[in-house]
């Protein structure tokens, strides 16, 4: 595959993530590394306020699985659950949270935040 083709595929992936109707958080299992526009709408904040945010601070229950304390629980595969999340302003909202590990061995789940 040529580098031009790789660039086009990477651009397509970026566009697909941004076009998603689900909020998507790319994390290292502890904090937010990146997100899409829908996640910003869901959390009602700016990108600079969400990037770097600890996952435990985004959940109503700081001891929830999303806190990254047990990455082996998610590394085995996709985990889906209903969770009470917390917006930047402290307001709580219900979300269906699905986490998936990324390839490469590093614990980097993608969290989809659906209604």
Q: What is the residue-wise DSSP string for 16-47?
A: HHHH-SSEEEEE-SSBEEEE-HHHHHHHTS-H
Q: Which residues pair with 47 in a beta bridge?
A: none
DSSP letter at 61? S
* Residue 28: predicted pLDDT: 80
Note the pTM of the prediction, 2 decimals: 0.75
Domain 22-114 has CATH 3.40.50.300: no
Q: What is the pLDDT along the chain (115 residues), one digit of tens a residue?
A: 788 878 888 788 788 888 888 888 888 878 898 899 999 999 999 999 999 999 888 888 766 644 444 444 444 556 777 888 899 889 998 888 877 776 665 544 556 666 5
């Amino acid at each position: 595959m040529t580098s031009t083709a790789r660039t086009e595929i990477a651009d397509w992936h970026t566009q697909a993530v941004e076009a998603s109707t689900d909020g998507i958080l790319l994390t290292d299992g502890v904090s937010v590394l990146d997100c899409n526009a829908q996640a910003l709408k869901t959390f009602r904040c700016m990108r600079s306020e969400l990037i770097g945010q600890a996952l435990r601070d985004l959940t109503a229950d700081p001891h929830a699985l999303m806190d990254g304390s047990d990455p082996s629980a998610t590394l085995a595969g996709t985990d889906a659950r209903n969770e009470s999340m917390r917006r930047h302003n402290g307001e709580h909202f219900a979300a269906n949270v699905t986490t998936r590990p990324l390839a490469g061995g590093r614990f980097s789940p993608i969290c989809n935040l659906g209604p």
